[in-house]
A and B are shown apart, each in its own frame.
Chain A
């Protein structure tokens, strides 16, 4: 069975702090895809990144970076120098080749960035 665990329910930081959101996944498939989405208060999910299981290179996009480690089944997300606009719920999700288009979501991490 596929499963995604986001153990951090809520994180509060002060603006300009760095913050890491954890994501641990379970799957028996060798080919799978991992995603991060941002859900601001408006509700719409915004796609941030997709990573396939054969690409363990870390990725950086501006203040965002992702660390994918197959050895620990983790796909963690770091925001550097956080800003108030980063306040949102962040979801990690998993898709595997045997599951068609189905995404399995974690329960999300609520990030609050305060001044």
Chain B
């Protein structure tokens, strides 16, 4: 079956702009989580959605937001981009909404802010 699909793979934006990233989970998976990966901070949790509801949020400013649609696809948005937002953004999907099992990651979106 198809894996987790993230689009676009690469993105270059200018400071102050906003960006929307997309994640299509594995068919049947209802939970989607987003992570930011940088060389300095490693992988950090952004938020998790399950059945269109945000259930968990990491320690990121309000410029980072997300949503999930009825087909479980998810988007995350970053407004007023800063240079420090340059990172690999990863989403992970899983079937169950509880416990720590079954995460499958996408290949990520590499965002560069100039």
User: Do chains A and B stick together as partners?
Assistant: no
Q: Which residues of B contact A (CB under 8 A)?
A: none
